[in-house]
């Protein structure tokens, strides 16, 4: 079966490129290099294994919390939105194949979430338009790979120095907090 694209409006659009073509494209595998709080939002810093460039996608604190929980494999007492999505995937026999940050327009990133359903009728791959923050949270929870398309990677600003500075500030703050704590009382 050919994959179909779904926009976030829920409308089915004509078939996309075949998934096999997408797997062999110029998508760069990335990992989360850091997840750091900022003024009013969090930065998700993505980088490749063999390059020093880092790009940043800024997300709201709630979404960052979901990502931190997935990274630390912490489960909430009641299902959160991404837990609900995982339950729906399981119930429908769907698995997340990959996430691709595929576009950058006016400083806003866009992503595609690739889902696979295999059943008695065959294999169906669906490409869904999604926010990068949701897509990354789902990828972390579902243990599927993250990619950034080469044109987006090349167009995005290198945030390596910003990441280095933020990590240095975090270390200094941690050192100050450690120094401010009173020594443990002796028995």
pLDDT tens-digit map of 86-110: 999 999 999 999 999 999 999 999 9
Q: How many domains does the chain have?
A: 1
> Which band of pLDDT confidence, cut at 50, 70 and 90, is reported for residue 166?
confident
Tokens of 141: 């929870």
Residue 177 within a domain: no
Q: Rounded to an integer, what distance in angstroms lies between the CA atom of residue 6 and that of residue 117?
A: 15
Strands 54-59 and 42-47, by their bridges, are antiparallel
Q: Could you tell me which of 119, 121, 127, 120 has the C-alpha nearest to residue 12? A: 127
- Which range of residues forms the domain containing residue 36? 4-164
Domain assignment present for 174: no
What is the structure's pLDDT at 85?
92
Convert the pLDDT of each residue in 4-56 to its tens digit: 444 433 444 444 433 444 444 689 999 999 999 888 999 999 999 887 799 99
Are 16 and 3 within 8 A, CB to CB?
A: yes
Whole-model pTM: value is: 0.78
pLDDT at position 185, please? 62
CATH number of the structural domain spanning residue 55: 3.10.690.10
Q: Confirm whether 184 is domain-assigned.
A: no
- Dist CA 70 CA 66 (whole Å): 6
Average pLDDT on 67-79 reads 91
Q: 68 lies in a domain?
A: yes
Mean pLDDT of the chain: 84
């Amino acid at each position: 079966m050919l994959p179909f694209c779904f926009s976030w409006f829920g409308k089915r659009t004509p078939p996309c490129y075949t998934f096999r073509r997408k797997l062999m494209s110029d998508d760069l595998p990335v990992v989360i290099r850091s997840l750091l709080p900022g003024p009013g939002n969090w930065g998700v810093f993505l980088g490749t294994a063999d390059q020093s460039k880092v790009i940043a996608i800024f997300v709201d604190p709630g979404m960052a919390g979901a990502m931190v929980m997935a990274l630390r494999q912490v489960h909430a007492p009641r299902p959160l939105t991404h837990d609900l999505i995982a339950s729906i995937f399981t119930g429908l026999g769907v698995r997340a194949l990959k996430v691709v940050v595929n576009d950058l327009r006016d400083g806003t990133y866009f992503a595609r979430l690739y889902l696979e359903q295999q059943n008695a009728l065959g294999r169906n791959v669906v490409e869904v338009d999604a926010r990068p923050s949701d897509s990354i949270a789902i990828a972390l929870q579902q243990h599927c790979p993250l990619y950034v398309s080469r044109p987006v990677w090349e167009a995005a600003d290198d945030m390596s120095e910003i990441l280095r500075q933020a990590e240095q500030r975090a270390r200094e703050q941690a050192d100050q907090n450690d120094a401010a704590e009173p020594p443990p009382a002796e028995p």
